[in-house]
Amino acid sequence: METESPMPIDEEIALEAAADPTMEKLREIEFSIASLEKGIRKVIQNQGVISKEIKTIEESLTWKDERTNVPTKRRRQSCKECAGHHQEYECPRISAGQRFMNAISAEICVNCNTRHPGDCKKRPACSKCDKKHLTMYHQ
């Protein structure tokens, strides 16, 4: 029966030397994984903060319908005349002539209250004179 002879010392040293770089590599990988996990946690934490900031901004840009108290998707608009939630050309506190001039200067169609190229395709909108302007602009 043959018994295994013990490994020569120089082979054992060579084997340990070969194993050490593997352990060193394993430590580097562990360190890299720990760093990545820390970075991911920080990104997730910042994502929560950013989401809250975005929600705050979105809430400040929307307003609630005063009749139903339901948030609308319409952006908050601020009239310079009365600080109401409408454009200056829609302000009920100013005269029809001034509203008309505000709409023209804002390049808004006075027949449909939107921006579009060329003539308005909608039928005349004024209920008082049947001309191509909204009744709110009638003088």
Each domain of the chain, given as residue ranges in start order, spans 17-64, 77-139
pLDDT tens, residue by residue, 7-33? 677 777 777 766 666 778 888 999 999
Q: From CA 40, how far away is CA 26, in angstroms rounded?
A: 21
Burial of 102 (0-12, 13-18, 19+ CB in 10 A): buried
Please tell me the least confidently modeled range out of 3-17, 107-121, 122-136: 3-17
- Is pTM, for the whole model, over 0.75? no
pLDDT the model gives residue 30:
94
- With bands split at pLDDT 50, 70 and 90, how would you rate the model's confidence at 139? confident
Q: What is the pLDDT of residue 88?
A: 73
Burial of 111 (0-12, 13-18, 19+ CB in 10 A): buried
- Residues 48-72: b if buried by 16+ CB within 10 A, e if exposed: eeeeeeeeeeeeeeeeeeeeeeeee
> What 8-state DSSP symbol labels residue 114?
S
Residue range 50-57: average pLDDT? 84
- The per-residue pLDDT for 78 is 72
Confidence at residue 37, expressed as pLDDT on a 0 to 100 scale? 95
Higher pLDDT, 63 or 42: 42
